Structure 1
Amino acid sequence: MAGLEADPMVQLEHEPNVQADRHPISQGLKVYGQHYSGSLKHDRQSFMGLLSKFMPVGFYYKAFYRPQGIWQKFWEPIVRRSAGLGKVNLETPHFYYDKKYEFYDLVVVGAGPAGLAAAIQAAESGAQVLLVEQDVIIGGSLNYYRFNADNSDSEKLRNELVEKIEALSNITARTSAYCNAWFADNWLPVIQDNRMYKVRADEVILATGSMEQPAIFRNNDLPGVMLGSGAQRMVNLFGVKPGNRAVILTANSHGYSSAIDLLDAGTDVAAIVDMRHDIPDSDLVIAAKNKRIRIETGSTIQEAVAGNRHVSGARIAKITGQGTCESSSSHIDCDLICMSTGFTPAYQLALQAGGKLNYDDENAIFDITGLPEHLHLAGSVAGLYDLDAVFKSGQQAAWRACNNLSLQSGDEPQLPAHTGQQGINHPWPIFPHEKSKEFVDLDEDLHYSDIVNACADGYAELELVKRYSTVGMGPSQGRHSALATARIVSRETNRSVSETGVTTARPPLAAEKLGVLAGRSFEPERFTAIHHRHIEAGATMMNVGLWWRPAYYGRSEEREQCISNEAMAIRNNVGLIDVSTLGKIQIRGQDAAEFLNRMYTFAYLKQPTGRARYLLMTNDAGTIIDDGVAVRITDNNFYITATTGGVDNVYRSMLWWNAQWRLDVDITNVTAAYAGVNIAGPNSRTVLEKLCQDVDLSAEAFPGNEARIGTVAGIPAQLIRVAFVGELGYEVHVPASQGEALWDALIEAGEEYDIKLVGVEAQRNLRLEKGHIIVGQDTDAMTYPEECGMGWAVKYNKPFFVGKRSLEIRNKHPSRRRLVGFEIKDKSEEVPQESNIVLHGNVVTGHVTSVARSPTLEKIIGMAYARTENEPGDRITIKLSNGQTVNADVIEMPFYDPENKRQEM
């Protein structure tokens, strides 16, 4: 009943694996059981329990791999249908999530008696304190646990502490929240509802408490078997009577506390079975005796008796040694068994911070050492169980934190001599049964014999036992099985529990929703300076990264014809394309050329001014991540373009690298500062000459791959001769405020030539006809230049560029694939889709990256990754989305104007 295990998990309409003891009831809430077949009462999969003796631990490793391929073909589908917990509803609406940054002097995790004492002590010393509590109210064990017979201590102390917390304005108490991890320098993700607080704290106190541990006996997984603290939470927090007749198994005073609470709730306590032979006369023990509760000493529950899928009784036997008891037993009728045999500290956050978990064999208890300087423990997580000691430890931890914060906090509080640690844990509450069914891990249905057999199979280290048996891999993440498993493994391997240890604690502490990790749905939209002109012209718009761009101009039902008409306008006449979304970066400074020479694969040191040169960028691994064009305006001034979706990454990469190189350059992302228009086609020069008199646009004066600065329609402009679409063309870049004016002027100047507006789809088809790749479409996260025919853009004779060393290594191990051009001449064939796979026999050798029905060539053309052996004239097989296949011929690229005469007009 503390949100730590799989038992209370339920299915809601839009969310699986919800902890029923943590989720508030609301009007209209629909709750279902989960992970069963048929009905919850009559689970068709329950027959698996009858087969358990034929499925020992690790049996699937030994049985499911023969004959070859049987796992994928037969067993995997069966296991996948049976495995898992709840079901994800794919129609779940998009809920709201967000994140917030916060900073505090001190964060106290856990609002039990230790956490409350720490928060008050620190706040009274002047610290700004955040108090984090996973329950809906603060108080921790003070809310439900009976520390003495008349229950006066906890109620009185809680009221006093809560009153002080509410009175201190420098304490922020955050309930129904949990600190889900500890990261370096006290960085804490605190999750509350649908918000993640990213908290930085100078000091942290972990008052996370301890987790009660179950005893291990036959049928200890039956409904009606629960921890004593779980029963107390049901009674004192929720007003739920957990059973009519109870048997309490205990080895400390906590069992007696549970018994008195159950009696007060109207549950008959049939017996307290105390594992100890000698019982100290504490306040709670005396109270239980005064209530004439039957007490069996030196005994244990040997078996929970099942009746109609629920506990119907308990078999009691005398303990004869470590993990052994008499074969003869007595029967007690009951419908509830409560266990209070010991605790482990809630150590997960402390271990994430680098703490070490040690085991004290004398007291059978864990303790934590080796914490970083600004992290402190308080309360039972520090091994203290007496209420006064717990309270004082909170004050002591706060005193140390305040000292680190240079805050005056008086004299150091001292712990009492009696801490409650001795005798709190039974050293061996594990009693294997000849008929098995003693569950060590209730989430994973693992028995005592499963852990023993894992050790017998050679897995002596606990981490290997975990992976072989899956112990601790369920929703509880070992919170109720780690100590028992460590004890069993230590016995089977003849080591101490301290030597055996526990498995590594890693973030997160509890399951996190992907929505919480993602945060607020942040989907910005960007419009070019010419956006409204596209809308007025009837464009069908599309998303390209964050930008809205015209896909084509016309109605969606005429899509193919519109795209074809736009493409042919550029091939035969003149067209206008808005390219404002291109990334634009200004590189200035005396080391500008050297900087580009290091960032990109091509050569730029000797690039003449007024020249435009292709850019290809790779990362450390030699993978292509972007391309563009660099224009050298002056010796120390470059204007470069990047892809629409890649410019932000390029800009970040440039800043990151130059933080190391310290070159004398200024790097500015000017993407939003400039609008860009590409005017292309055989008549593009004629139209542009009407608006540009201060730049000689003739082929001789302004050849391809050069740039000029002048004015167009009276607007200051940068002109670049580019040929992405394979025709005579100019990119005109102007201040963004003048984008619409430029667009209008070009349309007016081109009216007598029937200039046509061209969208993204036609532009992509035109570049495909020229065999130009699009980074991110014709490349993937593993593509390096030689694979896609871009080796010509890599200058290995440079001393350095980012990715050079990786490329030199990769080139010694040629790829098994390469990008090839293909054509399908049969006009009646279905056009493949991008990502359709390429086959060689039954083996997948690649996939289609770009494909279109070319209006210029009147056939289907495309690019695809195929075997490196595929040469022009070969035939490849493409599997269509409908499962059919089509044959395509490999041909040389470019498909159109291979001698580039059109773009050099």
Structure 2
Amino acid sequence: MSNRLGHGWGSRIDRNAAIGFTFEGRPVSAHPGDTIASALAAKGEWILSRSFKYHRPRGILTMAGQDANTLVQIGDEANVRADLRQVAEGMAVTPLNVSGSLRRDRGRIIDHLGRFLPVGFYYRTFFGPRRNSWLKLWEPIIRASAGLGTVSLDPAPRRYLKETRHCDVLVVGAGPAGLAAAIAAAEAGADVILAEKEPELGGALTYARFGVETADAARHLDALRRQAAAAGIAVLSGATCNGHFADNWLPVLQGDRLIRIRAAELVLATGAHEQPLIFRNNDLPGVMLSSAAQRLMRHYGVRPGRRAVVYAGDRDGYLAALDLDDAGVRIAAVIDPEAEDRDGLAPELARRGVPVMRGCTIRQARGGLHLKAVEVQDRQGGRTRLDCDLLVMAGGYTPGYQLALHAGARLSSDDGGTRFSITGVPDHVHLAGAAAGLSDLAAVIESGRIAGLRAAAGLGLAPAQELPAPVQAGWRRAAPSPAHPKGRDFVDFDEDLQVKDIENAIADGYRELELVKRYSTVGMGPSQGRHSALATARIVARKTARSLAEVGITTARPPFGPERLGLLADTTPERHRRTPLHAAHLAAGARMTPVGAWWRPLVYPGADAPEDAIRREIRMVREAAGMLDVSTLGKLEIRGPDAGAFLDRIYTMAHAGQPVGRVRYCLALNEMGSILDDGVAFRLSDEHFYVTATTGAVDRLFAEMMLQKTIMGARVDIQNVTAAFGAMNLTGPRAREVLERLPGSIDFGRAGFAFLDGREGELAGCPVRVMRIGFTGELSYEIHLPQSHAAGLWAALLEAGADLGLRPYGLEASRILRLEKGHIIIGQDTDALSTPDELGMGWALSRKKPFYIGKPAVERRRALGDKRRLCGFALPDEGNAAGVGESALVLQDGKPVGHVTSFGYSPTLGQWIGLAHVAPDQAEPGSRITLRGFAGAEVEAPVVALPFHDKDNARQEM
């Protein structure tokens, strides 16, 4: 049976055209402009999904995308809100959380087992001693049933766009208050952006009723739209403002576009959220908010039912009843919880023959897959059954508080929970309309005008002293929240939580609202507590004998609504940087890999398997010579009279007295004594240092240096020259022979160029800075030069050393070479808490310097004692290495105490070696540690002294 209303209803649909799609395989006909939910409702299909926990049938509740009842799947797109998504030709829609068919869902058996699944069931059943067997049995079943929708691992490509805008005033919400605010600010001379999540301007004016006569609202809507068009306001429709961040920075989502807006002044005209009632079976399809019923009728021309009961907890219930009557819906009764007429609309209903039952509440709804009747209870306990297929709830409102709370405001209420207001609104943020607690249309529009003028005054475009006083806030009566002895009185529709679940959480000892939320998961679903936060707070207040003001409301955090991961991802076509030697690597057949922001050669496999090629490259470096592109290293120039003293502050070793022409290891800590970065410093002159940093930390280190320069007042100039210089590491026992074959001005002889020396000069016609350092543990020269010369020198070196066995090697070989020497990699062998003592690097801490960043913390933490140590271990038996890898756990007495940070096969030693964080008493050489592999198998490994290879360091000093 069609529920489509006649002409005069349905402002968003085009009745002159038709669109076809399928729902659960069944064909559905719709009009352009219909949403999935409205098209199905027009056909008489009211069940859209099944609930998450109990698989109960769910249908339209808000018709505004503010609940999880309407989540569906469209192709490979999961969790689509059917009450917002417009239909498209040929789309295939399927319901969520269904086993079998929507009407005959096999999972509905769980609804009869609810008594065995109380709140906290998972915590109490699966966690604790002797419960591993339970967990192993049920975990696969629970995991298989968890989650909603199906995520495609091979989705169709989509193009996501991002842009940044600035404006004087951003107005969020284009209802009557938002339109009035935008118009007032624009007419005062402000540059205004108006963001509205609906497809058209007008907000409640497009669907709600504000009085017995509807013409007044229509006139206001037409006038406000005309004024907005004339004022030159930039309008973003179908755009959701998804959060508020510092300094009025707001992300606005418009389809596949992310618009980042920075506003000098912000007006929040975000409306109000209508609150559902709590009674038995309040989740049945056919039970909906008054605003949902009005949206169905006025936006989509759909009759929400044939025979209705209307709960009028506030004036909007009476107005919704008038709309239903105009649409030809028979009204069994209007239920008013108050004994007296408060709104003056009862006479109009009486004139139309609509009965009003006063002093009554809804006790329960009856029905299976759809509402069939409502049981009403009066104040004396008498009960009346009203047959109906529609229950419209007008149970009060909370202001649209989310963005305001993101900005730092608070949601407050009186002790009775009947008056809600947003307080503590920060500077440059203004409230208007229902967000400010107003409901009278004239007052809403006036509050918007005032908010717009106040925003303009904040810009100096309007004199503040001439502004009218703010309109006094009105309020909406809130609905009571009685509990039903048989349950199924849902507080949170997303999580299937009933009144008894919240009460049981309190009985289990969780008296504070935030703890109740975490224990029960109330408010954690897609609706984010829009309809459950207030009801939960009331229950907590009642059960703990406190006022609602004392209990408060749970914190609101971004995002306001769902957002696609594609909008958050980097959309830059070229995501990685290339070194000046990139073309040379490709020509040599390198297998490239992204490392941080850079493309780097992983291995040069040739005809070999990658594992064999890596071992070949390692042997090449140990036996002859190899060359690695290290252009990605951070490079900093430090110049000035205070250069040495400045580096003494930044790094742990002494640099003020460092001789010119010498290279010294650098270790930087943060204020809490944890390792920030490492590198080397080459002193070029008394006032000039060339400092290297790790690839990933150079930007952070540069920022820290600039800050410390300001704090210290140091006479230094700091330049980040990472992109200006290429660099290569020539290493191996024959490295010196290679260099000596090229013409140049530098003496590479052992006497003239010792370990940790640095030289500037010319090599093969290229200006170079060369440092003799040993990350691989072999004779090594790190050559830095202007990036425009890098490719030429790289080719010259390879040609000069070809007969000596010189070839390039990749990152994986470099990683094993340094592991054989026990050298750490910042960020891999360290974390945010790592101290030099934990890593056995106390030698890098100067004992003579009175201060360096992190020194006080290092000394305090040293006094507290270590909680872990980094040590080396070996697995001589290759079979024991199976399943062991980086991040594998280290156990002591069966409990995790650390993890493997580096691991690999050493062809030099013929065994698997690694570094791991362990308990301090496990770190001594000769100890044994227990490793748990990824498959769960445990192996024992001996702790060995570092370095694994060339313990007297003779090879790097040859």
Instruction: Identify which of 844, 849, 870 aligns with 2:901.
Output: 849
Counterparts in 2 of 1:105 and 1:78: CA distance versus 1, 3 Å: same
The letter for the 2-side match of 1:315 is E
- Aligned equivalents of 1:482 and 1:469: distance in 2? 12
Q: Residues 313-328 of structure 1 correspond to what in structure 2 (within 5 A)?
A: 313-318=373-378, 320=379, 326-328=380-382
Task: Verify: 1:245 aligned to 2:298, yes or no.
Answer: no
| SS state at 1:49 partner | helix
The offset of 1:461, in angstroms, is: 4.5
TM-score normalised by structure 1 residue count: 0.90
* Residue 607 of structure 1: how far off its partner (Å): 0.8
Counterpart amino acid of residue 907 in structure 2: P
Q: More deviation in 197-206 or 860-869?
A: 860-869
Residues 883 and 556 of structure 1, relative CA distance in 2, 3 Å threshold: farther
Partner Cα distance (1:760, 1:483) in 2: 56
Farther-moved stretch of structure 1 (448-457 vs 273-282): 448-457
Q: Deviations over 1:705-734 (max 9, x none)?
A: 101112111222112112222222322222
Deviations along 1:677-712, one digit per CA (max 9) or x if unpaired, are 323333322332232453322212221110111211
Is the 2:346–2:356 contact (alpha carbons within 8 Å) kept by the matching residues of 1? no
User: Which letter maps to 2:275?
Assistant: Q
Residues of 2 paired with 1:564 and 1:229: CA distance?
A: 70
Between 45-54 and 100-109, report the one with greater CA deviation: 45-54
Matched with 2:589 is 538
Distance in 2 (CA, whole Å) between partners of 1:362 and 1:820 is 62
User: In structure 2, which of residues 276, 289, 292 is the aligned counterpart of residue 230 of structure 1?
Assistant: 292
Q: Is the CA contact (8 Å cut-off) linking 1:215 and 1:429 kept in structure 2?
A: yes
Structure 2 residues without counterparts, runs of 5 or longer: 1-62
**1:235-282, Cα deviation, whole Å (9 max, x unpaired):** 111222221211111133322322232234343222222333332674
* Alignment correspondent of 2:33: none
Match in the other structure for 2:186: 123
Deviation at 1:343, TM superposition (A): 2.1
Contact 1:106/1:401 (8 A) holds in 2: yes
CA distance in 2 between counterparts of 1:415 and 1:852 reads 70
Among 366, 383, 387, which residue is 1:305 paired with? 366
Instruction: Quote the Cα distance in structure 2 between the aligned partners of 1:253 and 1:780.
Output: 59
- Between stretches 790-799 and 510-519, larger displacement belongs to 510-519
* CA offset digits 1:568-623 (Å, max 9, x no partner): 33333333333222221111111111222122222212111100111222233333
User: 1:79-118, aligned counterparts within 5 Å?
Assistant: 80-92=143-155, 95-118=158-181
Go from structure 1 to structure 2 and tell me whether the alpha carbon gap of 1:702 and 1:101 turns closer, same or farther (over 3 Å shift): same
Partner letter of residue 158 of structure 1?
L
Identity %: 48
Of 207, 213, 222, the match for 2:269: 207
Taking the TM superposition and a 5 Å limit, the aligned residue runs for 1:190-201 are 190-201=252-263
Q: Distance in 2 between matches of 1:677 and 1:59?
A: 60
- State how far apart, in whole Å, the 2-side matches of 1:471 and 1:863 are: 44
Partner of 2:951: 898
Work out the CA distance in 2 between the residues paired with 1:752 and 1:707. Answer: 27
CA-CA distance at 1:397 after TM superposition? 1.9
Instruction: Look up the match of 2:430.
Output: 376
Partners of 1:491 and 1:563 in 2: CA distance: 68
Q: Which position in structure 2 is the counterpart of 1:574? A: 625
For residue 323 of structure 1, what is the aligned residue in structure 2?
none
Q: Deviations over 1:613-656 (max 9, x none)?
A: 11222233333332221111111111112223332232233223
Aligned match of 2:229: 166
Structure 2: distance between partners of 1:178 and 1:533: 48
Q: Is the CA contact 1:851–1:861 (under 8 Å) kept in the aligned structure 2?
A: yes
In structure 2, distance between residues paired with 1:54 and 1:748: 77
Shift of 1:226: 0.8
Q: What is the correspondence of 1:441-590 to structure 2 with a 5 Å cutoff?
A: 441-452=492-503, 461-520=512-571, 524-555=575-606, 557-590=608-641
**Is the deviation greater in 583-592 or in 864-873?**
864-873
Distance 1:521 1:95, change over 3 A: farther
- Once residues 837 and 434 of structure 1 are traced to their aligned partners in structure 2, the CA distance between those partners, rounded to angstroms, is 50
Q: Which amino acid aligns with 1:199?
A: I
Mark the CA change 1:39 to 1:377 in structure 2 (over 3 Å): closer, same or farther. same
| Whole-Å separation in 1 of the counterparts to 2:892 and 2:129 | 26
**How well do the aligned residues superpose, as a CA RMSD in angstroms?**
3.2
Match of 2:22 in 1: none
Structure 1 residues 172-204: Cα deviation after superposition (integer angstroms, max 9, x where no partner): 111122223333433323232233333222222
CA contact (8 A) 2:76 2:150 kept: no
CA distance in 1, matches of 2:550, 2:890: 55
- Whether the aligned pair in 2 keeps the contact of 1:104 and 1:199 (CA below 8 Å) is yes
Alpha-carbon spacing, 1:897–1:340, altered in 2? closer, same or farther (3 Å): closer
**Residue 763 in 1 paired to residue 814 in 2?**
yes
Q: How many residue pairs were aligned?
A: 892
> What code does the residue aligned with 1:19 have?
R
Report the Cα distance in structure 2 between the residues aligned to 1:456 and 1:548, rounded to whole angstroms.
57
Which structure 2 residues correspond to residues 678-693 of structure 1 after superposition, within 5 A?
Answer: 678-693=729-744
**8 Å Cα contact 1:395/1:413 also seen in 2:** no
Question: What letter corresponds to residue 800 of structure 1 in structure 2?
Answer: F
Q: Structure 1 residue 336: deviation in Å?
A: 0.6
Of 283, 291, 310, which residue of structure 2 is paired with 1:221?
283
Task: Describe how 1:37-186 pairs up with structure 2 within 5 A.
Answer: 37-53=99-115, 57=119, 68-69=130-131, 73=136, 80-92=143-155, 95-169=158-232, 171-186=233-248
Residues 125, 131 of structure 2: 8 Å contact kept = no
Q: 1:338 aligns with which of 367, 371, 392?
A: 392
Which amino acid counterpart does residue 441 of structure 2 have in structure 1? L
Q: SS where residue 549 of structure 1 aligns?
A: strand
Distance 1:454 1:374 in 2: 40
- In structure 2, what is the Cα distance between the partners aligned to 1:879 and 1:174? 55
| 1:101 alignment partner AA | T
1:6 corresponding residue in structure 2: 68
Q: Tell me which amino acid in the other structure corresponds to 1:192.
A: Q
User: How far off is 1:799 after superposition?
Assistant: 1.9
Flag the 1:158–1:775 CA change in 2: closer, same or farther, 3 A. same
Q: CA deviation at 1:84?
A: 4.5
TM-score, normalization by structure 2: 0.86
Shift in CA distance, 164/596, structure 1 to aligned 2, threshold 3 Å:
same
Task: Check the 8 A contact 2:266/2:428 in 1, yes or no.
Answer: yes
**Deviation of residue 143 (structure 1)?**
0.6
Partners of 1:438 and 1:447 within 8 A in 2 = yes
Alpha-carbon deviations, 1:376-429, whole Å to 9, x = none?
222122222121121122112222222332324896568899x8x47x525x54
Relative to structure 1, is the Cα distance of residues 99 and 388 closer, same or farther in structure 2, using a 3 angstrom cutoff? same
Question: Does 20-29 or 700-709 show the bigger shift?
Answer: 20-29
Cα distance 1:454–1:263, how it changes in 2: closer, same or farther (>3 A)? same
How far has the Cα of 1:149 moved from its partner?
Answer: 3.4
Alignment correspondent of 2:59: none
Give the AA of the match of 1:850: S
CA distance 1:817–1:13, shift in 2 (3 Å): farther
Change (3 A) 1:660 1:429: same
- Aligned-partner residue type, residue 699 of structure 1: R
Check conservation: 1:540, 1:556, Cα contact below 8 A.
no
Q: Work out the CA distance in 1 between the residues paired with 2:878 and 2:519.
A: 57
Distance of 1:383 and 1:68 partners within structure 2: 54
Q: Residue type of the partner of 2:851? A: F
Distance 1:87 1:386, change over 3 A: same
> CA distance change for structure 1 residues 839 and 343 in 2, over 3 Å: closer, same or farther?
closer
Q: Which residue of 1 aligns with 2:861?
A: 810
1:831-846 alignment, distance < 5 Å? 833-839=885-891, 842-846=894-898
Query: Do the aligned partners of 1:110 and 1:207 also contact (CA within 8 Å) in 2?
Result: yes
Match of 2:418 among 364, 382, 385: 364
Structure 2 equivalent of residue 277 of structure 1:
339
Distance, in Å, in 2 between the alignment partners of 1:863 and 1:894 is 11
| Structure 1: distance between partners of 2:880 and 2:516 | 57
Amino acid corresponding to residue 765 of structure 1 in structure 2: I
